Amino acid sequence: MLLTGAAGGVGTLMRALLPAHGYAVRSLDMVPVEGEPGAITADLGDPEALRAAVRGTDAILHLAGISLESTFEKVLRANIEGTYHLYEAARAEGVRRIVFASSNHAVGYTPWPEGDEPRVPAETRHRPDTFYGLSKCFGEDLAQLYWDKHGIETVSVRIGSCFPEPTTVRMLSLWLSPADGARLFDAALSAADVGHTVVFGASANTRGVFDLSTARALGYEPRDDSEAFAGKLIAEQGERDPALPEHQVLGGAFTTDPPIWPH
Measure CA 184 to chain center: 11
In the bound complex, what is the minimum distance in angstroms from residue 115's beta carbon to ligand NAD? 26
In single-letter form, the type of residue at position 252 comes to G
Q: What is the DSSP string of 97-166?
A: EEEEEEEGGGGTTSBPPPTTPPPBPTTSPP---SHHHHHHHHHHHHHHHHHHHH--EEEEEEE-B-SSS-
The residue count for binding ligand NAD (CB under 6 A) is 24
Active site residue 132: yes
Select from 1, 2, 3, 8 the one that contacts ligand NAD (CB under 6 A). Answer: 8
Please state the closest distance from residue 11 (CB atom) to ligand NAD, in A: 5
Among 3, 101, 184, 189, binds ligand NAD (CB under 6 A): 101
- Per CB under 6 A, contacts with ligand NAD among 80-99 are 82
Backbone angles phi, psi at 153, to 5 degrees: -85, 145
Q: Which of 159, 169, 218, 250 binds ligand NAD (CB under 6 A)?
A: 159
Q: Pick from 20, 31, 244, 260: which binds ligand NAD (CB under 6 A)?
A: 31
Choose between 146 and 161: whose C-beta lies nearer to ligand NAD: 161
Residue 53 or 218 having the CB closest to ligand NAD: 53
In the chain, alpha helices (H) = 9-17, 47-54, 72-75, 82-93, 131-150, 171-174, 178-190, 213-216, 230-237
- 204 exposed, middle or buried (CB, 10 Å; 0-12, 13-18, 19+)? middle
Interface segment toward ligand NAD; rule CB under 6 A; list 17-25, 155-163, 227-235, 241-249:
155-163
- The residue nearest ligand NAD at its CB is 8
Residues near ligand NAD (CB under 6 A) are: 5, 7-11, 29-31, 43-45, 63-67, 78, 82, 101, 103, 159, 161-162
